Amino acid sequence: MRNTKASFAASARRCRKSGRTHQRMPMNVRPLFNLMVIACLFMAANGCSSMYYDAMEKVGIHKRDILGERIEDARDSQHDAKQQFNSALERFQSELNFDGGDLQNTYQSLNRELERSQARADVVRDRIDAVDDVATALFVEWRQEIDQYSSAKLRRLSNQQLKQTQRRYHDLLRAMRHAEQRMQPVLRTFQDQVLFLKHNLNARAVASMRGEFGSIENDVAELIRDMEASIAKADAFIEELAAA
């Protein structure tokens, strides 16, 4: 599954954070705790989402906590991708403005930037998928638990809170998906230019790429704006989640 690596990394961080709890545990409880942690990591690595969430709850880590951490991970990955795309643009500009030199080296340099940008885009996609996976599970559980209220007033208030949280979350998800999708046209343009240079290692190819640079620069600028908007929404949602 796409979110496997993101889930596994987040799980490892949570397990490290649980070290303080482990130190306070009686000796006879620690082996059981260790087995549960290992089971959680195994299920995260193999994409068994529902079993994974149930196991994490048994060690005191709830879906709400996982959602907050995964949103932070997705936000951080978008920040990293933003920096990488900006770096790739600067490298393109530097290489295309260089008069002379080995065109094979120019191709290799730009191809490395393309590969790094693609890798960052893949991480962003995986982490957004991981966010949506746990958010879906959280909202399903919340809806089911609303029926357990004996108080009609509390049931109504909880239902209102659920709908408000879902609206804010879907607004965040749209922003993250929009920024993610905006990366693909930029990557395709990068790939076209690098491939063209590979097939035409001559001054004419470089001149042609220079003519396309303005369009690439505009695309990257728009992408960065979208990412910054998505990052801001993620920050706001994290604050609301912590305050609720």
pLDDT score for 17: 44
CB of 229 within 8 A of CB of 175?
yes
Report the C-alpha dihedral over residues 37, 40, 42, 48, rounded to 10 degrees. 170
With cut-offs at 50, 70 and 90, classify the pLDDT of residue 9: very low
Whether the predicted pLDDT of 179 surpasses 90: yes
**What are the pLDDT digits (tens) for 132-157?**
999 999 999 999 999 999 999 999 99
**What are the pLDDT digits (tens) for 61-78?**
999 999 999 999 999 999
Q: What are phi and psi of 200, to 5 degrees?
A: -140, 75
Euclidean distance between CA atoms 86 and 69, whole angstroms: 26
Enter the pTM of the model.
0.78
Q: Which residue has the higher pLDDT, 13 or 89?
A: 89
pLDDT score for 181: 94
**What are the pLDDT digits (tens) for 189-200?**
999 989 888 888
Question: What letter represents residue 135's amino acid?
Answer: A
* Opening angle at CA 147, ends 145 and 151, nearest 5: 110
First to last CA, the chain: 31
